[in-house]
Amino acid sequence: MRQVELIGVAKSYGEGPPAVARSDFSVEKGEFFSLLGPSGCGKSTTLRMIAGFVAPSSGTIRLGGEDVTALPPERRAIGIVFQNYAIFPHMTVAQNIGYGLKLRKHDKATIAAAVGRALEQVGLVGYENRSPSQLSGGEQQRVALARVIVLEPRLLLLDEPLSALDKRLRDEMRVWLKRLQHELGITTIYVTHDQDEALSLSDRIAVMSKGVVQQIGTPAEIYERP
Ligand code: ADP
Ligand code: ADP
């Protein structure tokens, strides 16, 4: 089943060539799909259009078969994690993870159970009452992930989530991302300029250059004809 579909999606910010020129691709339910390409090729713009932060100049975006092109971000049921995790420094780990459910007025027992499950999923059991400042960058990024997956989004968007981390933490986070993907099977679109990351994590990869999707394939297919 197609969970995400982009049909003729394009975005121009003003004069000059478009940031994204007519993009067509779809992502299957449960798939880990990467947008790979150098800085400035239009990856973030594509992700922001899917999230609803940027309106396409033309084209249609469907989520689970529903046309969401005109829906505001908060009505798309999408979870997003950015490079610079925006976790709240004054809240504990558990409060950070439970915050979205609290805003949605879930009761305390439901929130506590969901927070507990999310802590297990990202390997942070025992960290519930810590402050973010007591955590490593990788652990903070796992809190950011937990805070999003606890809301059970129908799509997870990850925008260069590892690029602020050093090599060792990046490798550690890759393992966590793979495990999460395996356990939860959340449909994920992953933006990166790092070919190794895309090859090691993805079911399929869309290679972008200058606003255009150049090719789409499995890691083996992309690796064989770079
Ligand atoms: P990437 O994520 O691959 O680095 P972006 O989608 O951020 O690429 O950018 C694609 C192009 O659009 C770049 O040329 C960039 O300068 C331009 N761009 C991105 N955001 C804006 C904006 N808000 N206003 C004007 N131009 C932008
Ligand atoms: P408040 O008292 O303002 O409701 P809390 O400090 O209780 O805020 O925490 C916010 C949410 O995080 C709560 O709904 C709670 O269920 C969850 N939470 C807090 N501490 C823990 C913990 N140690 N383990 C699991 N969940 C927790």
Would you state the pLDDT for residue 180?
Answer: 84
Residues whose CB is less than 8 angstroms from the CB of residue 76 and which lie 6 or more positions away in sequence, other chains included: 51, 52, 63, 68, 155
| Residue 223, pLDDT above cutoff 60 | yes
> How far, in Å, CA of 177 to CA of 146, rounded?
11
Contact 11, 49 (CB under 8 A): yes
Strand partners, 62: 5, 67
**SS3 of 35, please?**
strand
Q: ipTM score here?
A: 0.71
For residue 49, the surrounding DSSP H or E stretch is helix 43-51
Q: Is 91 in the pocket of ligand 2 (CB under 6 A)?
A: no
- The one-letter code for the residue type at 220 is A
Q: Is 100 in the pocket of ligand 2 (CB under 6 A)?
A: no
Q: Ligand 1: distance of its center to the CA of 45 in Å?
A: 6
User: What digits encode the pLDDT tens for the residues 164-181?
Assistant: 888 888 888 888 888 888
For residue 172, the surrounding DSSP H or E stretch is helix 167-184
Q: Ligand 2: distance of its center to the CA of 180 in Å?
A: 23
Would you state the pLDDT for residue 79?
Answer: 93
What's the pTM?
A: 0.87
Q: What percent of the chain has pLDDT over 70?
A: 99
Contact 41, 225 (CB under 8 A): no
Query: Ligand 1 pocket: which of 13, 20, 160, 192 to mutate (most atoms <8 Å of CB)?
Result: 13
